Amino acid sequence: MPHYLFSYGSLQDEAVQLRIFKRKLIGIAAILYGYHLVENEYLGKFPVIYASTNSQNTVKGMVYEITKTELSLCDQYETDYYKRINIVLPLHPQAWVYVRNSR
């Protein structure tokens, strides 16, 4: 069963994909509604998204089809600064995205 991952940051980078998944991911452009992006918040270089009170706020990104094993690799890559949550996108009723962990 495939998993879908919405990426708005470094997981879109081909070099990062090759390092983590040992392959280049093929994705489609997507927009996530009800979130806003903060550039360079984590370690001064990685973007973070937060849920917004304004449903018109959007985050542009890519959706990739990945395996369960690759999803576990994403969890390791994203560290505990991020948490993985389930979201709904216009063409994907269920996808994963990493948001700022509130711990």
Q: Could you tell me if residue 65 is inside a domain?
A: yes
Q: Can you give the pLDDT at residue 42?
A: 66
pTM of the model: 0.90
Q: What is the pLDDT of residues 60-93, one digit of tens each?
A: 999 999 999 999 999 999 988 899 999 988 887 7
Question: How many domains is the chain built from?
Answer: 1
Tell me if 7 is assigned to some domain: yes
The answer to whether residue 96 is domain-embedded is no
Residue 34 falls inside a structural domain: yes
Q: Is residue 13 part of a domain?
A: yes
Asked, for residue 25, whether it belongs to a domain, the answer is yes
Could you tell me the CATH number of the domain that includes residue 12? Answer: 3.10.490.10
Q: Which residues of 18-50 are buried (b: 16+ CB within 10 A; e: fewer)?
A: eebbeeebebeebebeebebeeeeeeeebbbbe
- Pick the more confident residue, 47 or 29: 29
- Which structural domain, as residue segments, surrounds residue 22? 3-90
